[in-house]
Structure 1
Amino acid sequence: MDDDTKARLERLQAEIRLQTGRRVTQQELLARLVAEAIESKADLVDSFREERVPLADAEREAFHEGMVSSGVTTSEEDIDDVLYG
């Protein structure tokens, strides 16, 4: 662990103690962070992607303008049938 990360972990540990009055070890803190990261692992995985190309607001609006509702609700089963037969 580099010095900057270690210092940030120590600051977080101190903040938890100040706000809760409870001492937590760095091991407890890391275990909790890992457990919470697993619950939202899609965001964590995305944070390691090489490139993230955000769309400009105008591009996002143009994409959504091209979408139309067919008036038919599509279920997961419908999608599975199309994809997997």
Structure 2
Amino acid sequence: TGGGLLENIPRILPENVSVEIKRGTWNELPIFSVMQKLGNVEDAEMFRAFNMGVGMILICAEEDKQFVQNNLGECFEIGRVVKGNKKISIN
């Protein structure tokens, strides 16, 4: 489908919410910063092309978070769903 985190996540969101992703909440491999620096690539393009090492996104209700974390093995809480208009912000 292309588009990485920035374009794929909005495809599954209802019209009245957005997602805030907090960078540094997952193990970002050093290769991404090397590629970004050598290629002079913007952050947004790195997230579109490489997802910055995030393999899969699962969005769940707050009350299901503990169940998901207990049953998925290694996973990271990287953001939250907020009121908005289908936008992704990375801070």
State the TM bucket, normalised to the shorter chain: under 0.3
Q: Give the TM-score, by structure 1 length.
A: 0.25
More helix by share: 1
Q: Using CA pairs below 8 Å that are at least 6 residues apart, which structure has the higher relative contact order? A: 2
Considering only CA atoms, is the larger Rg found in Structure 1 or Structure 2?
1
